[in-house]
Every structure is written in structure tokens, then in C-alpha cells.
Amino acid sequence: MNPQPSIQMPGQWSTVAPTVDWMFYFIYWLSVVMFVGIVATAMYFVVKYRRRPGVKAEPTGHNNTLEIGWTVAPVVFLVFLFHFGFKGWMELRVPPGDALVIRVRAKKWLWDFEYPNGMHSVTDLHVPVHRAVRVVLSSDDVLHSFFVPAFRIKQDAVPGYYQTAWFEAVHTGRVDLFCAEYCGTGHSAMHGNVIIQTQAAFDRFLAEGAGPRQGETPELWGRRVAQDTQCLTCHTIDGTPSVGPSWRGLWDRTENLADGTTAHVDENYLRESILLPGAKVVRGFAPVMPTFQGTLQDRQIDALIAYIRSLH
Ligand code: CUA
């Protein structure tokens, strides 16, 4: 299994990748051979049977050997393709019984990963290497699609329905994770990484939880939370309004709300806006922010508030 990408394919980072690639290249080269063969034959006939003065077109009878030949030969290929295609599909659909289960919730516009110990991470999915992982996918709003090219898996996340996919990573490192279903303004920002770690490093990641790093101030931790949680997809920190109000100068301001009332931006207003984004919508902005209830812990919300306060 080669972790280096080729000109056509990303690197092979999962157990199923070589099977998928083998099938892909088989169909690819079969198509090349068929294309060249058919076009060459057509060109040959065009020349051989072109209209010439004095030569009259005459219908010929049919050729049983030829007709049976060109019927049976493709059938053999199709049965072969079906057999290996179905086998590969079953491998992709049926996870091993002892797979580690990670709950994945997609929403506009982030990925929220929940690990077996209840810990969450946003944007980046951490997994142990050489261990089957089953992701249980759902969406909180519209269709999204969980796509990890290096694992050769793609599965839609559907509102109100669970979908599953599984993989076993074979190298440690970092590969791309995309949303592969257009889901609105922030679709292109629904991009993260799968971080494949040794079992020991993965256990450490789970144990440390989502706390601050050694010596990190609440403001700096808050900035990291904002980046990891994709807040900055919709909120700028330079004063320019985007999908939502900018955080620059937000603190201590009095906002005009969509319902005609006003609100003073303090700790309680920010906390409520993170957990219940629809409660106090600022005039001029659409009520599109997802809730972070259950995604962010109280201490992370404190850190975010400290960061927004520092952008005064
Ligand atoms: Cu989520 Cu595109």
C-alpha cells in the first residue's frame, strides 16, 4: 500500500484502497483498449468501404460466429466485473464487529465528532491506526457528504437518518476530509483532516480532552477553539460583516435585533447566542447559525467569550 499519491489517485491509506484502485485501473485500461480497438476498426471500415465510382453497395448476410463472439466476450467481462465489484462493495459496507464507533454529525458548516468516551472534536477526526473504525453519520440540517479520498470512502449524511461507513487506516499521518455535497455558503469550508495516530497517541488525545494547552491563556485557547470550531467561516475578526456579525468591536456594543429590540453584548448574550443562536438575531443577518449545544463544553464557551472580549 503506497501512501504517495499517483497522477490519478490519492495515496492508499486504508485497507480497502488497493482493491478499489485495482478495480478502477482494470476498468480504466479495459476502456482504453475498447476505445482504441473500436475507433481503429471504425476508421478502417470508413476507408475500406468508402464510396467509389463503379462500386455498388451490396447487403451481405449475417455472420453467426462473429455475432456469438461479440456477445459472449463482453458477458465474460461483465460477470467478472460484477463479481469483483460486488465483493469490493460488500467489503466497504460490512464493518468488522469489533470496530471502534465514532458518531459524526454534520451541520452547516462543520463536522462534529463524538468519541466513545463522550469527548467531541470539531473539523479534525482523530483515529487510531490499524484499527477498524465505524463512523455513524447524520446531519442536523441539509445533505452533507463525508468524503475521505485517501480511504476511498464517501457517504452522504442525511437529516433524520443514520448512515454508516467504515475504514481501517494503515499509516499514521494526516489526510483530507471533505464535504462532497453542496450544502450552502460555507460548503467549501467544511474541510478538515483525519488525523491517524498510534493507539497510545489516540488514547492520550481522548484522555486530555478538549482543554487548554500548558500555559495557554483563555484568550489564546478561545482563538484556537474558534478556529477548530469553524466559527471564523462566518464571523470575521477584522470588523467586516460576513454571514454573521464581525467579532471585532462586538464586545460591550448594543446590537439592534431583528425583532426591533436591542441587546447589550456581554457574557450572557454571547453564551446564549452560541447555545441558542435563534434567540436574539442581529438585524440584517439571516438566522442560519447552528447551535453548539452539546458540541462545546462550558469551559470552551468561556474561552470563546474571553477571546471575543479581547477583540474589543
Ligand atoms: Cu456540508 Cu457541503
Q: Given this model, what pLDDT does residue 103 score?
A: 95
Closest ligand 1 atom to 143 CA: 1
Q: Given this model, what pLDDT does residue 5 score?
A: 86
Q: Which sign does the torsion angle of CA 71, 76, 77, 83 carry?
A: positive
Does 224 sit in the ligand 1 pocket, CB within 6 Å?
Answer: no
Does 162 sit in the ligand 1 pocket, CB within 6 Å?
Answer: no
Q: Given this model, what pLDDT does residue 151 score?
A: 95
| Cis peptide, bond prior to residue 109, ω within 30 of zero | yes
Q: Given this model, what pLDDT does residue 294 score?
A: 75
Does 179 sit in the ligand 1 pocket, CB within 6 Å?
Answer: yes
| 120-122 and 191-197 beta bridge pairing | unpaired
First-to-last C-alpha distance (Å) of the chain: 51
Mean pLDDT value of segment 97-118: 91
pTM: 0.72
Could you please report the per-residue DSSP string of 53-75? TT---------HHHHHHHHHHHH
User: From the CA of 289, how far away is ligand 1's center (Å)?
Assistant: 14
| Chain segment 190-246, per-residue pLDDT in tens | 999 999 999 999 988 887 766 777 778 888 888 888 887 888 888 999 988 888 999
Q: Given this model, what pLDDT does residue 202 score?
A: 92
Are 159 and 149 spatial neighbours (Cβ–Cβ below 8 Å)?
no
Mean pLDDT value of segment 250-269: 90
Mean pLDDT value of segment 152-159: 94
Q: What's the whole-number average pLDDT of the chain?
A: 90
Q: How far apart are CA 257 and CA 243, in angstroms?
A: 15
CA-nearest residue for atom 1, ligand 1, is 144
Q: What percent of the chain has pLDDT over 90?
A: 55
Q: What percent of the chain has pLDDT over 70?
A: 99
pLDDT at residue 273 tops 80: yes
User: From the CA of 103, how far away is ligand 1's center (Å)?
Assistant: 17
Note the maximum CA span of the chain.
Answer: 96
